[in-house]
Structures are given as C-alpha cells and as structure tokens.
C-alpha cells in the first residue's frame, strides 16, 4: 500500500519511491490505493507543483492504471494525525503486508494490525534481499 507522499516523490524525483513504481509497473509487486488517496495526490500536485488539470489527470491516470484501487469499508481511528487514518483504512481493506510512507506519524507506529509501516528505503532493502 503506497501513501500519497510516495506517489508524489516518484512523480518528481529519482530514488526509492520511483524504484517501487518501476517494480509495480513491471508487475514484480502489487500495490494498492483508493480513489480518495488518488484525489489527494491529484490536488497536491496541482497545488504544490503547479500541474495543470490536464497534466495532473495524466499522472493520476497512470497511477490508477498500475495500482489496485480499493474502497475501504472499515473506519480506522488509530493514528495521531487523523488524516493518516485513511491510509490505514486502505491497507486494512487490501489486506496489505506493508504501508510504504514518508509520513512521520505513520512511521512512528511501525505496524498496524500486522501491517508493517516502512519507508521506501526500508522496503527496497527488504524487497531486494
């Protein structure tokens, strides 16, 4: 399960988030998101990176095409930053093994309901072993 900040990093910089997207594109791993998180991504890149509606839609459509989209049905209230609960909801719904994030509130949790919460760097280290 990829947090929105991983999608943003992969969109603008080379590094571990981009490697993870490449693994997903090459069907080496499977990752999840939701329509709500993709909307958050779309709004963020328009607001913070000056993307036009057209270019932001193209980037969002790309992620929608490679990620498995789930719609959570369980409400989770577990993170000190309430906005991060939607990430946990997607991970639970998807029965994910990992949440990959750069968010300090999520990372501080280390795990949630057996789902490991790791940075992109930590995931790459685990994945390439």
The CATH number of residue 60's host domain is: 3.40.50
Angle at Cα 128 formed by Cα 90 and Cα 125, nearest 5°?
A: 70
- The pLDDT value given to residue 44: 97
φ/ψ of 14, rounded to 5, equals -85, 150
- Per-residue pLDDT tens digits for 66-107: 999 999 987 877 777 778 899 999 999 999 999 999 999 999
HSE-up (13 A, CA, CB side) for residue 57: 3
31-57 pLDDT tens trace: 999 999 999 999 999 999 999 999 999
Tell me how many domains the chain contains: 1
For 39, list phi and psi in degrees, rounded to 5: -65, -40
Length of the chain: 129
pLDDT of 10 reads 97
Query: What global pTM score does this model have?
Result: 0.93
Residues 6+ apart with CB under 8 A from 124: 16, 19, 20
| Full domain range(s) for residue 78 | 4-127
Quick: pLDDT tens for 99-127. 999 999 999 999 999 999 999 999 999 98
What are the Cα distances from residue 52, in Å, to 18, 42, 49, 56, 59?
Answer: 22, 10, 9, 6, 11
């Amino acid at each position: 399960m990829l947090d929105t900040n991983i999608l943003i990093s992969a969109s603008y910089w080379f590094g571990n988030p981009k490697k993870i997207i490449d693994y997903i594109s090459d069907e080496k791993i499977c990752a999840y998101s939701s329509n709500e998180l993709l909307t958050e991504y779309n709004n963020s890149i328009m607001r913070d990176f000056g993307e036009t509606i057209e270019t932001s839609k193209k980037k969002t459509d790309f992620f929608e095409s490679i990620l498995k989209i789930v719609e959570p049905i369980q409400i989770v209230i577990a993170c000190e930053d309430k906005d991060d609960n939607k990430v946990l909801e997607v991970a639970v719904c998807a029965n994910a093994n990992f949440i990959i994030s750069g968010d300090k509130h999520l990372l501080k949790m280390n795990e949630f309901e057996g789902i490991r919460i790791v940075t992109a760097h930590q995931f790459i280290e685990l994945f390439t072993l």
